[in-house]
Amino acid sequence: MLLRQVSLFCFIFLFSCQNSTEIDNKLNEHSEQRMNKEFIDKEYFSSDAVIPIEGKIIGYKIIQENGNGRKIPIYDKGARIDLGDKSIDCKYKRVYVDGEVDHFKEKSGKWLGLWDGYNKIGYQNSRTKWGFTKYFVSSENVRTSAINAGYNPDNIMAAVFTNNFSYWFTPGTYKAYHLDEVFERGSLSRSQVVSMANTLDMYYDHAKLFLSSYKIRNDVYDKVDDYQYVLNNTLNTYLMCDQYYDGSIWYGNDQRPYWNKFNDYYGCRVLSHWLSLDIDGSQGDFQRLFWKANDLDIDELWLFVGNSVNVPSYLYTLGEAGFNAGWLRKYVKKYSYWYVCPSEFGDPCYCSETDSGWILDVIIYEGAYEEY
């Protein structure tokens, strides 16, 4: 698969709820990465907060006012505001604002697996931020790292690169093994794959053997009969499609026609398929593929990550698609924006009465909440 991958290359406190696009511009930059204080002080002027607040500042949001920049402090969750005798209702306004996505989490009954050979995402990050629940490993060291990051040992699939696999696979260690395009590459014969599968079934706690393929009937060197032979002579083998386009052109159309063919050929022996971070991500295919998996009653998908340079953006697209299709739960950062009515107006209720003149004073991070 790797070789082909390369080639395919606010609630307003007094009024109402609202969403704001303000936070999308700079908030992520300043809350995720601390801005250099000397740069801020040099480039922007700052005014002390009018609203009395105590807490830890975790970043700044820069806004433009009258051609000048002003930095608004962002306080961590738990910051305290004590208005005391200044709590004149009409002088202050609080608006709850949805911010950027904090993380995705697995959805019950759905499983996302990850083959991240270059460790581009990170073991811990893949599980806690992006919602992956299964991991593909090629060595015991990778398995150990995945388990240390919180992956369930029963949810780890091991790569098999040879029929002599027992030298590092201890019986009972893995529940699933994987052979990549074994007949396309001519790596093993039918009988060798059948023997391997039966060995796993008998001596390795009925472990499953997954076989990835990109061949359908009428392809050059069709291998469908070889895979059907294995399925007919084993109880624990399953097919996965690792084709990332429909076969008619090099790019442009996704692999859904291949998934249909695999369903026709192999029926209930298809439990999962492969997605490509780079190919499906660059073509915007994730949403269509999640919905197609739902149509085929497939509850498990695996993501192949090559040496990509677009990991964060494509992962976000994957997460949003998974959320929309019912595969992932999404948690969004929430903030409260606190506004004050300037004393220059003379009347503390001027801003609330005219719905104008409000000055953003402080921002408080309220935590991450699940979006439905």
The whole-model pTM stands at 0.82
User: How many Å apart are CA 92 and CA 349, to the nearest integer?
Assistant: 9
- In tens, the pLDDT along 129-176 reads 999 999 999 988 999 999 999 999 999 999 987 655 554 566 678 999
DSSP-based three-state secondary structure for 311:
helix
Query: Which backbone phi and psi does 93 adopt, to 5 degrees?
Result: -140, 135
User: How many Å apart are CA 325 and CA 238, to the nearest integer?
Assistant: 24
What's CA 140's distance to the chain center, in Å? 25
Q: For residue 211, is pLDDT > 60? A: yes
For residue 175, count other CB atoms closer than 10 A to its CB: 18
- Segment 281-286 shows an average pLDDT of 94
User: How many Å apart are CA 74 and CA 53, to the nearest integer?
Assistant: 11
The answer to whether the beta carbons of residues 273 and 290 sit under 8 Å apart is no
pLDDT band at 23 (very low <50, low <70, confident <90, very high): very low
Q: Residue 6 has what pLDDT?
A: 40
User: How many Å apart are CA 179 and CA 158, to the nearest integer?
Assistant: 9
pLDDT band at 85 (very low <50, low <70, confident <90, very high): low
Beta-carbon contacts of 294 under 8 Å, excluding residues fewer than 6 positions away, are 325, 326
pLDDT band at 62 (very low <50, low <70, confident <90, very high): very high
For residue 66, count other CB atoms closer than 10 A to its CB: 5
More confident residue, 4 or 327: 327
Q: Which domains does the chain have, with CATH numbers?
A: 10-101+332-371 (no CATH), 108-326 (3.20.20.70)
User: How many Å apart are CA 354 and CA 259, to the nearest integer?
Assistant: 59
The answer to whether the beta carbons of residues 60 and 74 sit under 8 Å apart is yes
Q: For residue 248, is pLDDT > 90? A: no
End-to-end CA distance of the chain: 36
Least confident of 59-73, 246-260, 323-337: 246-260
User: How many Å apart are CA 71 and CA 58, to the nearest integer?
Assistant: 13
Please classify residue 359 by burial: count the beta carbons closer than 10 Å to its beta carbon, then call 0-12 exposed, 13-18 middle and 19+ buried.
middle
- In tens, the pLDDT along 25-51 reads 433 443 333 333 333 333 334 446 788
User: How many Å apart are CA 222 and CA 215, to the nearest integer?
Assistant: 6
